[in-house]
Amino acid sequence: MADSIATPRQNPGIDLTQMTDARVALGRFGAGMPTRASQAFLLDHARARQAVWSTVDTDRLAKGLGGHGCETVIVDSQAQDRSTYIRRPDLGRLLSHASAERLTALGTGYDVAIVIADGLSSTAVELNAIPLAAGLMSRFASLHMALSPVIVARQARVALSDPVGEALRARIVVMLIGERPGLSASDSIGVYITHQPKAGTPDSSRNCISNVREGGLAIPQALDSIVALVTAIRQTGISGVGLKDAVAALR
């Protein structure tokens, strides 16, 4: 290995890498990073871009959920492709007309609808959505809740929960959505729970659990948190920032 002009890690001082996950003490050659550090960064960025720009294999997802005894219905937002989706978050919040009709035909009376949405990370959905959704279906069923088929939404933003919930007249929508990837993790699922979803629901009326992934909030713990939130929302009839106070008032 060539001699780096300054590799602080080799200096007898405190090891900075023990104190932060930031990319400290990389060393340098002139102004350049060592090749390995440079390529480690590029790999993290490549993973993040792949998570954003690839599409979810919905057939595989449906088959996987079918293996757990879950029916699925696939819907689309009004963003027709990835490029439109990235540029037009407004279209990712609206349901395509065909999809709205398909959902309306499913009937009503659901306590909970689970929506799997690609969001900004298809990687997160492919790695984590099946065990999360199947786990929730079984936990909710044992609580005697009426459940819609699992809705798989393509080119979807969080607020697509609202038209999906409206079309199904679902009391609660639980959306599992791929979060915007960072360099350190590109496979996180965010969970958004909305009571009585309807167009124009502010984000402050949803409850959120983020960073669900291996190495973040693990799936069993995430399932417990989601079930606890849904139970509290059913008891209080409220979701979002007001939920904590509403639960406290019940006690």
Which strand ranges, in their side-by-side order, compose the sheet holding 172-178? 72-76, 150-154, 112-117, 172-178, 189-195, 206-212
Instruction: State yes or no: residue 146 binds other proteins (CB under 8 A).
Output: no
Instruction: State yes or no: residue 13 binds other proteins (CB under 8 A).
Output: yes
Task: Name the segment binding other proteins (CB under 8 A); options: 47-55, 98-106, 190-198, 227-235.
Answer: 47-55
Instruction: State yes or no: residue 234 binds other proteins (CB under 8 A).
Output: no
Q: Is the Cβ–Cβ distance between 72 and 151 less than 8 Å? A: yes
- Straight-line distance from the first to the last Cα atom of the chain, in angstroms, rounded to the nearest whole number: 66
Instruction: State yes or no: residue 1 binds other proteins (CB under 8 A).
Output: no
Q: Decide whether 78 or 236 has the Cβ nearer to other proteins.
A: 78
DSSP per position, 196-215: S--TT--GGGEEEEEEESTT
Q: Decide whether 88 or 102 has the Cβ nearer to other proteins.
A: 88
Q: Count, in order, helices (H) and strands (E) of the chain.
A: 8, 6
Task: Name the segment binding other proteins (CB under 8 A); options: 34-42, 139-147, 220-228, 238-246.
Answer: 34-42
Distance in angstroms (rounded) separating the CA atoms of residues 127 and 90: 27
DSSP 77: B
Phi, psi of 149 (to 5 degrees): -55, 160
Instruction: State yes or no: residue 200 binds other proteins (CB under 8 A).
Output: no
Distance in angstroms (rounded) separating the CA atoms of residues 71 and 2: 58
The token duo for 63 is 């088959």
Q: Decide whether 13 or 249 has the Cβ nearer to other proteins.
A: 13
Distance in angstroms (rounded) separating the CA atoms of residues 53 and 58: 15
State which of residues 20, 142, 144, 250 lies at the interface with other proteins (CB under 8 A).
20
State which of residues 36, 60, 87, 198 lies at the interface with other proteins (CB under 8 A).
87
Instruction: State yes or no: residue 31 binds other proteins (CB under 8 A).
Output: yes
Q: Decide whether 102 or 180 has the Cβ nearer to other proteins.
A: 180
Q: Is the Cβ–Cβ distance between 47 and 181 less than 8 Å? A: yes
State which of residues 28, 102, 169, 234 lies at the interface with other proteins (CB under 8 A).
28
Task: Name the segment binding other proteins (CB under 8 A); options: 35-43, 56-64, 93-101, 194-202.
Answer: 35-43
State which of residues 163, 181, 190, 197 lies at the interface with other proteins (CB under 8 A).
181
Whole-number minimum distance, CB 1 to other proteins, in Å? 18
Interior angle at CA 69, CA 187 and CA 137, nearest 5: 60
Q: Which residues bind other proteins (CB under 8 A)?
A: 5-6, 8, 11-14, 16, 19-26, 28, 30-33, 37, 41-42, 44-45, 48-49, 51-52, 86-90, 120, 180-184, 186
